[in-house]
Amino acid sequence: MNTDPYAALARYYDAETVGTIYDLPAYARLAERFGGPALDVGCGTGRIGLALAEKKLRVVGVDTSEPMLARARARATQEKVDASRVVFLMADVTSLELDEKFGLAIFAYNGFMHLLEQKQQIAALERIAAHLKPGGGLAIDLPNPVEMFRMEDTPNVVFERTFDDPETGEMVMQQSVASVNRATQMMSVTWIYDRISVDGVVHRHIVPLTLRYTMAAEMRLMLKLAGLDQVETSGDYDFSPYEEDSPRLLIIATKAGETS
């Protein structure tokens, strides 16, 4: 069994997230605020990194999934991005060692949820902090953790969306089954991708994931332990104040020192 859940998901990821562009202006603003280069943690297929590279920022993307990274590199080639401006590396953020300091680090679109234990989370934050310039910033984008107390537990399969498979043009139907353990702040979700060929045969990929919600106060404490105690919390990509009913929890943490 492949231990990388994104080995199957990588095929569909770009088609599934093609409309996910609403967070890009926020990262562009942060890049203007903190400067570069930028570290894109959990970069996936390069959605954030390539957008920042288009704005003439040097970007280093890191991820643990080689299939996702392969697609990021292919996209960079297809979009004719200067190779000196963006690079995608296979690396675990909890043990990250790069010979470069960054003005901005980004942990986008729920990526931090893949770290299931606090010791992993703190280790990741410490390694990111070690790679920031004095005055550099870290942005972490999460769903509002309050939502886990509102979710209904149901064993039913939920229809998510349909899209076309980029390799064959065949229709893909995406569904999910999810449950939340509120005591441990863990969500178990199984993504189901049914690709329907022209002859009616259904090709099914099943992608199980376990994700962890992190509360805002908990995040502040972990960031402080990592040496990032200048923390701002926003509730959306417009940097509005974080509230109980906010759609997102967007954390901006600054490393002490003067910006370079």
Q: What is the mean pLDDT of each run of 10 residues along the chain (260 residues)?
A: 77 86 95 96 95 94 96 93 92 96 96 96 97 97 94 83 90 94 94 92 93 96 93 97 96 80
* SS3 call for 28: helix
121 and 237 part of one domain: yes
Query: At 47, which amino acid appears?
Result: R
Shared-domain flag, residues 34 and 64:
yes
Q: Which of 208, 132, 147 is nearest to 180 (CA)?
A: 147
Q: What is the pLDDT of residue 260?
A: 42
Same-domain check for residues 17 and 139: yes
In single-letter form, the type of residue at position 134 comes to: P
Q: Which domain holds residue 99?
A: 6-145+213-254
Round to whole Å and give the CA distance between 60 and 91. 11
Q: Let me know whether 55 and 13 are in one domain.
A: yes
**Predicted pLDDT of residue 83:** 83
Q: Within a domain: residue 25?
A: yes
**Both structure tokens of 113:** 């949820």
pLDDT of residue 114: 96
90: alpha, beta or left, given left = phi > 0 and alpha = psi -120 to 50?
A: beta
83 in the same domain as 208: no
Say yes or no: 58 and 129 in one domain: yes
User: What's the confidence (pLDDT) of residue 259?
Assistant: 47
pLDDT at 258: 58
Please tell me the predicted confidence (pLDDT) of residue 20.
85
pLDDT at residue 1 in the model: 42
Say whether both 44 and 67 belong to one domain. Answer: yes
Q: Are residues 242 and 179 in the same domain?
A: no
Nearest to 191 by CA among 215, 217, 161: 161
| Helices (H) then strands (E): counts for the chain | 6, 11
- Per the CB < 8 A criterion, the answer to whether 153 and 189 are in contact is no
Both tokens of 76, joined, read 């960079």
Q: Is 65 a domain residue?
A: yes
pLDDT score, position 152: 76
Burial 196-217 (b: 16+ CB within 10 A, else e): beeeeeeeebebebebbbbebe
Instruction: Say if residue 200 is in the same domain as residue 248.
Output: no
Give yes or no: residues 102 and 180 share one domain. Answer: no
In this structure, the answer to whether residues 119 and 194 fall within a common structural domain is no
- Do residues 55 and 137 both lie within one domain? yes
Residues 6+ apart with CB under 8 A from 3: none
Task: Give the pLDDT of residue 153.
Answer: 73
